[in-house]
Amino acid sequence: MKNIVLLGFMGTGKSAVGRALAKELKYRFVDTDQRVEEKSGKKIAELFTENGEAYFRELESQAVQEAVQQGACVISTGGGAILNPKNLEALRRNGFLVLLESDPEVILKRVQKRAGQRPLLQGPDPLAEIKRLLEERAPYYRCADFTVNSSYLRVEEVTRAIKKKVLEIEGRENTR
């Protein structure tokens, strides 16, 4: 079975849903941000400050390439991972791409709960920055095979919607 790849902006629930989905499907779970932290021995925010975004993106790319090798894996990606065409190519070739979307105001509330963890949103007007980045990234996120709006759904509800879709597709593939 192909991997299931969760894409989407910060605060859309990729990590929580990814973990729950992997458990449901009995897949392995890989979170690319977590892999970057393990590789560097630093928290993402620290890594951005001490080594810069370009270095973070390099480690993120390595984490993506390693994750897709596995198969039967739920991969939760950092919100900017698919901006790199190489990452997108690898994820698309080896996975079913699921986009989690949320309203900017909902994203802001969620990221504020973990203040200081999102280096890209540390400016004076994080809501405006969220809206700007969402607009800039919209064409990239459009590559998804399936989209769930997670603004007002609980983790279990989002997980159930993705699982239903995956089983549907698997069923179709098995009858070919």
Residues found near ligand S3P in the complex (CB under 6 A) = 10, 14, 33, 44, 78-80, 118-120
In Å, how far from its chain's centre is CA 117?
Answer: 15
Whether the Cβ atoms of residue 65 and residue 91 lie closer than 8 Å to each other: no
Q: Is 69 helix (H, G, I), strand (E, B) or coil?
A: coil
Is 132 or 164 the residue whose CB approaches ligand S3P more closely? 132
Q: Least separation, in Å, of the C-beta of 176 and ligand S3P?
A: 35
Q: Least separation, in Å, of the C-beta of 29 and ligand S3P?
A: 14
Is 147 or 169 the residue whose CB approaches ligand S3P more closely? 147
Q: Least separation, in Å, of the C-beta of 119 and ligand S3P?
A: 5
Q: What count of other Cβ atoms lies within 10 Å of the Cβ of residue 147?
A: 16
Tokens of 76: 């939760």
CA nearest to 90, candidates 112, 73, 108: 73
Q: Least separation, in Å, of the C-beta of 125 and ligand S3P?
A: 17
How many whole angstroms separate alpha carbon 95 and alpha carbon 102? 22
Is 92 or 119 the residue whose CB approaches ligand S3P more closely? 119
Is 103 or 119 the residue whose CB approaches ligand S3P more closely? 119
Half-sphere exposure of 143 (CA within 13 A, CB side): 23
